[in-house]
Amino acid sequence: MARGLEDAPLIRVVIAGPRPDVRRALQIRMALESDITVVGSTSSVQAALPVLRGLRPDVLLVDVDWEADTFAEPLARARAMAPGLRVVLLTHHRAAWPASRLTIAGGDAVVGKDPGAGPLLASIRRLADHRPKGFV
């Protein structure tokens, strides 16, 4: 098993979003982190479903600049396929995502698309700290 900071297991991330340039930029930025590895990138949560079990991500990072109801059902299916999966919703419109909307969408956290990656990385790390031990 690959190890990251302080010999902890690497945090495995799948990125889902409609824009390849945004997914690639996120992948490049996360490659700079010694404790995070991007194991997959897809155009949508729906497209990620067939590979989630094999990729075994800890965190699914989803670009959510669209309505919550368009991906709530695929997120529920993703969680069923990958027990312990945590979901970070990434958006330009963070203020438009109150807790009730986050719950409807099926996310664990909402992070704004800020110029700095600090809040996103902190959210990924915080959620990964709550992953079940012995995830298979």
Residue 28: inside a domain, yes or no?
yes
Token pair, residue 7, equals 């010999």
Token pair, residue 108, equals 């664990």
Residue 124: inside a domain, yes or no?
yes
Specify the pLDDT at position 63.
86
Residue 134: inside a domain, yes or no?
no
Write out the DSSP string of 80-98.
Answer: HHSTT-EEEEEES-GGG--
Alpha helices in 66-134 (DSSP H): 72-81, 99-105, 118-128
Residue 90: inside a domain, yes or no?
yes
Tell me the per-residue pLDDT of 60-75, one tens digit each, with 9 for 90 and over.
Answer: 999 886 555 567 788 8
Tell me the per-residue pLDDT of 20-31, one tens digit each, with 9 for 90 and over.
Answer: 999 999 999 999
Least confident of 11-15, 17-21, 111-115, 131-135: 131-135
Residue 33: inside a domain, yes or no?
yes
**Helices and strands (H and E) in the chain: how many:** 6, 5
**Beta strands per DSSP E along 3-107:** 11-16, 36-42, 59-63, 86-91
Domain that holds residue 65: 5-128
What is the average pLDDT score of the chain? 82
pLDDT exceeds cutoff 90 at 87 = yes
Residue 57: inside a domain, yes or no?
yes
CATH number at residue 50: 3.40.50.2300
Question: Structural domain tally of the chain?
Answer: 1
Residue with tokens 């409807």: 104
Residue 95: inside a domain, yes or no?
yes
Residue 133: inside a domain, yes or no?
no
Cα–Cα distance between 95 and 115 in angstroms, integer?
A: 16
pLDDT exceeds cutoff 80 at 16 = yes
